[in-house]
């Protein structure tokens, strides 16, 4: 069944959150704990394809205890945002999320969701819940499309049934604090992804495997875990939920290459494009923890930052591991290039700067 032949049913929430309560929630939403009135849902059944597309009241769902996802983690998801721009609610590069969603689904032996259907589900949800898109600076509506195996069967095989859903959560900044540099922790034991594994897919299992290192990071006073490659334990790959960039004294940038073990971030791709358009040299090349440490000490490395949909662009000021720690530039203040690139990206997202790449789409 093609995406365009699926009709969305609209079943409005008859008891939406009262306006005054919604406004209070929107004033200080935090990250990921407040949800809107609706969700998008589409069922998939082998032989029948995608069916029963609908927008309905957000509510708990029933899942059978033998549902495949609960046992074998056949699940993929996306993270994207709707922004309140001068032109109303807008989405940023939703087509890139639709493509990556199918890339992840393919790695997990899940069915392809036609891009048109992915985009329609997201647009319809933002449309019906547009009053939930925060308008204060730094606020946005975080959208979480996801799909999971829903066949009631304990044999290990790709499921014959799936549920695709989109939920929405008004959010402020991902990191607590005033937006100053964050610190990262390198675990001695845990890695995130090996060659041939699922590192380039956005699947729940990758995050489950990262939680122990993330808990270790918090215990050691750091904000995020940072992973080195699984083979040599030497090359910087990415953070638990963000990609990473390095800024050098000659004004050039580097970021780890997309070699199959890291997530191909849409923020990463956007920043490479913006930086190159500003005349900067950007290399996609391997960079080791030893290079990072010695370049930070010599001053050859000026700045480091993390980037992703949830975190936007966050300066990294300190790197710690069981072997010790080092700082980058002024660990109290975000670097100049980092903050300039962040502003350039956010200005495009909010419609405060021209959008030469056609990244921003009105809902
Ligand atoms: N890497 C990981 C592991 C992530 O979870 C994310 C966030 O989605 C990213 C990188 C950044 O990707 P994007 O910029 O598309 O949000
Ligand atoms: C995102 O940025 O969308 C993510 O999925 C990462 C997670 C840390 C929330």
Q: What is the ipTM of this complex?
A: 0.98
Ligand 1 close to Cβ of residue 68 (< 6 A): no
Q: Are strands 161-171 and 182-185 parallel, antiparallel or unpaired?
A: unpaired
| Rounded-to-integer distance, Cα 31 and Cα 221, Å | 20
Ligand 2 close to Cβ of residue 308 (< 6 A): yes
pLDDT surpasses 60 at 2: no
For the chain, what is the radius of gyration of the CA atoms?
21
pLDDT surpasses 60 at 155: yes
Q: What average pLDDT does the structure give for the chain?
A: 96
Give the pLDDT band (50/70/90) at residue 3: very low
Ligand 1 close to Cβ of residue 79 (< 6 A): yes
Ligand 2 close to Cβ of residue 241 (< 6 A): yes
Say which residue the tokens 């074998």 belong to.
72
The per-residue DSSP string of 119-133 comes to: HHHHHHHHHHTGGGS
CA–centroid distance, 200 to ligand 2, in Å, is: 14
| Rounded-to-integer distance, Cα 307 and Cα 255, Å | 11
pLDDT of residue 5: 67
% residues pLDDT > 90 (the chain): 94
pLDDT surpasses 70 at 338: yes
Residue 72 in 3-state DSSP?
Answer: helix
Give the pLDDT band (50/70/90) at residue 1: very low
Supply 313's token pair. Answer: 């662009």
% residues pLDDT > 70 (the chain): 98
The top-scoring range by mean pLDDT among 165-179, 272-286, 329-343 is: 272-286
pLDDT of residue 120: 97
Average pLDDT over residues 329-335: 89
Average pLDDT over residues 87-109: 97
| Rounded-to-integer distance, Cα 149 and Cα 45, Å | 10
Closest atom, ligand 2, to C-alpha of 240 = 8
């Amino acid at each position: 069944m093609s995406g365009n032949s699926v009709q969305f049913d609209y079943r409005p929430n008859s008891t939406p959150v009262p306006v005054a309560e919604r406004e209070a929630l929107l004033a200080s939403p935090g990250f990921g704990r407040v949800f809107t009135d609706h969700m998008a849902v589409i069922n998939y059944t082998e032989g029948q394809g995608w069916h029963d597309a609908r927008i309905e009241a957000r509510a708990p769902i029933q899942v059978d205890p033998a549902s495949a996802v609960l046992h074998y983690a056949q699940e993929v998801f996306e993270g994207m945002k709707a922004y309140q721009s001068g032109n109303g609610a807008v989405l940023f590069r939703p087509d890139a999320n639709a493509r990556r969603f199918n890339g992840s689904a393919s790695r997990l032996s899940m069915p392809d969701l036609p891009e048109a259907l992915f985009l329609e589900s997201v647009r319809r949800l933002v449309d019906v819940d547009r009053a939930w898109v925060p308008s204060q600076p730094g606020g946005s509506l975080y959208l979480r499309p996801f799909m999971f195996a829903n066949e009631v069967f304990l044999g290990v095989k790709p499921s014959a049934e799936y549920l695709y859903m989109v939920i929405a959560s008004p959010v402020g900044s991902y990191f607590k604090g005033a937006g100053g540099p964050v610190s990262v922790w390198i675990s001695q034991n845990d890695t995130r992804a090996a060659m041939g594994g699922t590192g380039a897919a956005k699947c729940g299992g990758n995050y489950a495997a990262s939680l122990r290192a993330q808990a270790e990071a918090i215990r050691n006073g750091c904000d995020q875990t940072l992973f080195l490659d699984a083979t040599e334990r030497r090359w910087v790959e990415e953070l638990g939920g963000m990609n990473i960039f390095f800024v050098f004294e000659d004004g050039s940038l580097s970021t780890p290459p997309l070699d199959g073990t890291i997530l191909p971030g849409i923020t990463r791709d956007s920043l490479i494009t913006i930086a190159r358009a500003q005349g900067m040299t950007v290399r996609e090349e391997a960079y080791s923890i030893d290079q990072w440490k010695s370049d930070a000490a010599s001053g050859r490395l000026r700045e480091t930052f993390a980037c992703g949909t949830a975190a936007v662009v966050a300066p990294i000021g300190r790197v710690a591991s069981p072997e010790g720690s080092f700082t980058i530039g002024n660990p109290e203040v975000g670097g100049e290039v980092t903050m300039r690139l962040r502003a350039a990206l956010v200005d495009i997202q909010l419609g405060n700067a021209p959008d030469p790449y056609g990244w921003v789409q009105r809902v």
